[in-house]
A and B are shown apart, each in its own frame.
Chain A
């Protein structure tokens, strides 16, 4: 039984690693887009302009209060039907993950910026720095340091949530694994191997976060 499980896993490994590559690539892309979206949305959420604030608030709430699985199905099946276009499951998947994680990153950014005391902004403005420069040079660098742990947390969530893309046919790690054990009926070793691969990726991310955090710590 033991040697059997080992050989099952080693046979499946090349395919699983291919899946892992897709998982990592799609997650990395989604995280990159989500970061850009998150910074913009986070700043929009604290804008003085009520329209800007309103748009960002609606966006964040829509993505926070609906299930990711429904969002994935909606963007892959629903939206193309409505607007009469089609896109690949990979592109639709990255779009959905980016928008979903972006909403959460937006909240992380907003919290980080708001945690920086008003005195910092006032000191920047009192020198004569504009609002934009004060944000860029004084507030954001400090906020950035504060949000690293919650930001990395969102990144690990993104990697894990990418498994849901299997339902629209993205050949990432979960879908590869499922197709393997539905053919060889070796669910236990395959699922264990899949779990281990996800774990390794996310654990490395967590360790990296700790190192970055220590390196840029100012407190």
Chain B
């Protein structure tokens, strides 16, 4: 459902971050992007959600190109189909958990406030946060905030969700609860592209693992191929450090 072709991105006059990346993600597939920081994983996700504009190549959503010049309306509509979960949650601090989740549906989907609120409650129950509906983000732990953020993304009924290091900003004991929710989504058939350093999680959930290095995918395949029999030396070195 998502096809990335020869994606290129350079910030300002610096060295290119992405140097012609190809990626194909089928509906219902879970793809994990791994690699050292600065390898271009996050930039790639941000390009898919049009938070960054690609400098070269193109991105297709269900066969239709979404890169190139688009009207603001088109971009907003594309973003409604592709959810995004950030490393630092980015919940709206002036809204309760339920309000965070209901905002999009109320404003963009013509859902009534009552319906949106009901769905927000259901989604919070789904991510294990029943009872926290009226809490403000500051009253929640990092793991809880990230689960609210996932629920907020789900409320728009996206066809695909992009996760940008969703557990990197969490204390170790909270990583599990967030990964648990993501596993649940994977089991439900949600299409997901996940930037992560959690190799155990990637092994258990991913259909495909892509290893990025200096703006190119240097290794890709099923988890056991990439993790157990990495072909490139860079991947071997990286994995030996991460898996210690």
Contacts and interface: CB of A to CB of B under 8 A. Distances in A.
Contacts of B104: 127-129
A125 interface: yes
Contacts of B90: 117, 119-120, 122-123
Nearest to A117: B90
A131 B73 CA distance: 10
A173 B136 CA distance: 46
A9 interface: no
Interface residues of A, number: 21
Interface stretch (A12-20, A53-61, A65-73, A133-141): A133-141
A145 interface: yes
B88 interface: yes
B84 interface: yes
A125 B86 contact: no
Interface size bracket, B side: 20 to 34
A120 B92 contact: yes
A18 to B, nearest CB: 43
A130 interface: yes
A126 B84 CA distance: 6
Interface stretch (B59-67, B75-83, B116-124, B234-242): B75-83
Contact of B51 (A126, A145, A218, A219): A126
A215 to B, nearest CB: 13
The secondary-structure label for the interface of chain A is helix
B93 A129 contact: no
A142 interface: yes
Interface string B19-37: 0000000000000000000
A218 B86 contact: no
A98 to B, nearest CB: 29
Contacts of A218: 93-94, 136, 138
A125 to B, nearest CB: 6
B84 to A, nearest CB: 4
B7 interface: no
Contact of A126 (B49, B73, B77, B94): B49
Interface string B171-184: 00000000000000
A156 B93 CA distance: 29
Contacts of A119: 86, 88, 90
A131 B84 contact: no
A187 B182 CA distance: 76
Interface in B146-191: 149, 152-153, 156
Contacts of A117: 90
Given A122-B90, A141-B94, A219-B138, A128 B103 contact: no
B229 interface: no
Given A128-B108, A130-B76, A138 B92 contact: yes
Interface of A: 117, 119-120, 122-131, 133, 137-138, 141-142, 145, 218-219
